[in-house]
Structure 1
Amino acid sequence: MRKISILIPMFCALLFVSSCDNDNADLKVYETDPIVLSELDITDIELDQTNPNNPIVTLNWTSANYGQQTSVNYSVQASSDEAFTNPILVTTVNGNSATLSVNQLNSAVGSAGLPPFQWNTAYLRVVSSIGTTSSLPVASNTISFNAYPYFNYPFKDYYIVGDATQPGWNNNNNNPPLFRDGENPNLYRFVGYFTAGQFKVLEEKGLWQPQWGTNNGSGINVNPGGGSDPGTFPYNNSSIAAAGFYAFTINYSTNTFTFEPYDATGATSYTSMTIEGSSSATTTMTQSGFDSHIWFVNTLHLTPGDLKFTSNTSTSWGGTTSFSGTASTTISNIPVVVEDDYDIWFNDLTGHYIMIPLNL
């Protein structure tokens, strides 16, 4: 074992010892021998998203010995390779065991790089350390198991409704979604045509709550269900004065929004738009009869691969982020990372796209 000398004042701060002599005597802290992580009782774990909070495995290990009475941190890590090239932190505890839920284990192996809906080998280990800065980390042995993870769709989707929008005050009328930013999952935009009138934002088509609006013309308010509904966008129950193109931006991390006129003068008008790529056979999109720059296709089955949007002029748009983002004519195809049925929307004014999985 490697011996490390630490001056008493430093050791006191690290281990929260309440009474120590402030002299130059040393206390000896030893790097522990690796703890032993017990093998699992099962080797094949199929993760079922039906009950994500149910316990799925309990891990047990021996105690670390750093040569002093001190609290030891035990961090459970997951990896897709035995070398733990990119270890994923699963949980940290102070005892000798940890019970993981279905969702915890699924999230861990997914973050480690295991693809969903396939059997692959996952690796676990426990790293012991001491102090608030996790000093003297020592990794345990590695155990492995076969995992069949499901996909965790981590995003929320939002839809517009109101007499200023295509669906009117119908909460289940192919309501257009807000386009989620590809880098900031709390930022959403919708640039398009609005008539004179008002609108709100819903979290689920067919349900009136959760319902988002504004009560002061700058911040956003929500009725999650059972409360009072907020005022309408864009000006707290005041209508859009004139029909035209507008840019609506809503930020759920700051609870703010903007609604401003958008200059669509000179924008190209396309007569057709198709989805092409390895994820699907070439599919013709539907052009919105309300806003000719908005295109959509409902319930399109996609497999892992890629896709792009191509117009009647052979102009193609691609992107770098799965599920949503901003496409460009200078970027290659959009990655599709998981098989499912999708509602897909594309805005040729801005390049915004969103692909909403229906079963994840």
Structure 2
Amino acid sequence: MKALNFNGIYAPGSKNIKPSWPALMMALLCLFTFSCKKDAITAKVTSTPVLTASSNAVVLTRDNAAKPALTLNWSAANVQGMQGSVTYFLQWDIKGNSFANAATIKLGKDTLTKAYTQEALNDMFITLPVATATAVEMRLVTATSDGSVSPFNSNVVALTITTYSKTIPPPYSQLWMVGDATPKGWDIGNATPMVQDGNDPYLFTYTGVLVAGEFKIATVKDFGGAFYRPLANHPALTETAVQVGSGDPDNKWQISAAQAGNYKITLNLHTNTISIVSTDPPKAPFSQLWLLGDATPGGWSLDAATPLTVDANDSFIFTWTGPLTVGDFKIATAKDFNAPFYRPTTNAPDMSATSVQLNAGDPDNKWHIATASTYKITLNLHTSTISIVNTVVTTPPYTALWIIGDATPGGWSLDAVTPMVKSATDPFVFSWTGPLVAGEFKIATAKDFGAKFYRPVADHPALSATTVQLSAGDPDNKWIVTASTAGNYKITLNMKDLSVAIVKQ
């Protein structure tokens, strides 16, 4: 900065007069401002970095993930007149893209080299297609901490990079089911393919029919190849562990005649586990049952045994309505005295007892009918329970009934239970019409949770099911209304024949 010149700030011809201070300050300010502007140093780039790479083509593999892959070196940038420091950034983009979609990685300041392992370089180029040689371009961008100059670029370095997938591929990309339980049998050249999951390539599924027979899972269409098999031969279908290998022991899964049907099989190569799940509705253990005993119309004759009827909505529910005389009975599963029978858990129990057991031989418990009449018998194989109701009564068992549950207007409150209306022509019939929302309900005989309830014979049946039972305690079966079935209904209960009609209005 120039030396300050005070000439001209005194009054002309007045050597002994002191200068005016306001005038002096103004002069100093003007001189300082002029001098600084004139002498200020403008920052400028005097050298840009020169970037070099240790290789111009790199093939990355998972097996060499920890090994060195690429080293970048560059000369130092120089900015004359800068008051701060420089920071280096690496940019890369697909060749020919002019860095329009460049990825930018901070390298740091006061550093002139960067080394990458194969894994680190693979992570940097993770967006590139795997196992494909891709041409990219790299450059350095240098920025100053004081912002004295705009960021500036180095030369461009070309690189061809081949990356690998971060996800370890499964050991097999195709699998097949083979065996006489499968649609294609033992024809290995035409084996039934499993489907590889689109989101997880380690999951393979098969959905379809399996018949009685065996199967295993082939990794190649060759009986000399490796197979996924159970750890033991013919395990329970609930066993999940699998092993993969060739040769012996040649373990297989087995589908019995009773198990034949539709299945979904899921093989998980992450965990070497399998799920074998039937997609068919549960099958009742028996498709036909008979009443047998001197209380029944056919007596003890197997040829004249009285058949029960399978419920149209639930194959586990069997019913019969008809005359029973004084005597005993049990329920046959076959026309064979040596076959298992459904019987009470104690001999000659009270008619209100509901427990049932299935057994052959002794103890040969039976139900005892003490009063000849017309009865309705309902056997529930889901819960091993029975209902035996005398339908020839002149006086209804209850003079008031209520619907209760979160599907009903009063919810589960005993104080707010919704009353049903007794029929003017039949005291055994009660009905109610109104809205049901999503939830459950049953029919109360008293405002007491310990009392008996009219309930479905199975929990959550179709609303079209008509059979009901009268019981206290468990099983606490209920009807259910879903969000899609909610609406106005008319419910009609007949206490005499233990039937219900639930009809949407």
Q: TM-score, normalised by structure 2?
A: 0.29
Larger Rg over CA atoms: 2
Q: Looking at both structures, which has the greater relative contact order when contacts are Cα pairs under 8 Å and sequence separation is at least 6? A: 1
Please report the TM-score for the alignment, with normalisation by the length of structure 1. 0.38
